[in-house]
Copies of this chain bind each other. A is one copy, B any other.
Amino acid sequence: MDEDTLTQALSRAETLCAQRGVRLTPQRRRVLELVCRAERPVGAYELLDQLRDGGPAAPPTVYRALDWLLEQGLVHKLETLHAFIGCTHPEHPHASQFLICDGCGGVKELEDKAIAGSLASVAAESGFRPSRPVVEVIGTCSDCAAKHGKD
């Protein structure tokens, strides 16, 4: 995320939190910034190392901030990577899907109605009430496919 996009994302987060009446404290803001600044998904301990540049910090610090940011939908957790990324459209609650390239480590966030729909309908058939759908597709992005295809 470039500097402009980052600034925008942070101010959007400020606005959202103000609207919701929740507190985007300096710690949480700092963690959000670190997550967004990274181009790739970042691990909790990677964030912790960066937090430590500004003073002492322990694992619960970063996990608390991340939990809160997850609740607010400002970041997503990638279960298959044990890592976090900034949400690209935090304005509304949504069920995202992720395309994760194991070549370059890049992640694309999608919000596809067809996938969400078919998930909802199979769940409904089973009488299952979904609370958190996790959809992560590991594979190779077009760039990496092009590169490695030539090898």
Q: In the assembled complex, which residues on chain B have CB atoms less than 8 Å from the CB atom of A119?
A: 97, 115, 135, 137
**In the complex with contacts A110-B122, A119-B115, A145-B131 CB distance below 8 A:** no
Q: Does A138 contact B (CB under 8 A)?
A: yes
**In the complex with contacts A79-B79, A97-B122, A140-B135 CB distance below 8 A:** no
Copies in the complex: 2
Q: In the assembled complex, which residues on chain B have CB atoms less than 8 Å from the CB atom of A115?
A: 115, 118-119, 122
Interface size counted on chain A using CB atoms at 8 A: 35
Q: Complex: how many Å from CA A102 to CA B132? A: 10
Q: In the assembled complex, which residues on chain B have CB atoms less than 8 Å from the CB atom of A138?
A: 130-134
Q: Is the CB of A142 within 8 A of B126?
A: yes
Cβ distance A127 to chain B, nearest Cβ, rounded Å: 3
**In the complex with contacts A79-B79, A110-B122, A112-B118, A139-B135 CB distance below 8 A:** no
Q: In the assembled complex, which residues on chain B have CB atoms less than 8 Å from the CB atom of A118?
A: 112, 114-115, 117-118
Q: Does A23 contact B (CB under 8 A)?
A: no
A121 (CB) vs chain B CBs: closest residue: B114
Q: In the assembled complex, which residues on chain B have CB atoms less than 8 Å from the CB atom of A142?
A: 126-128
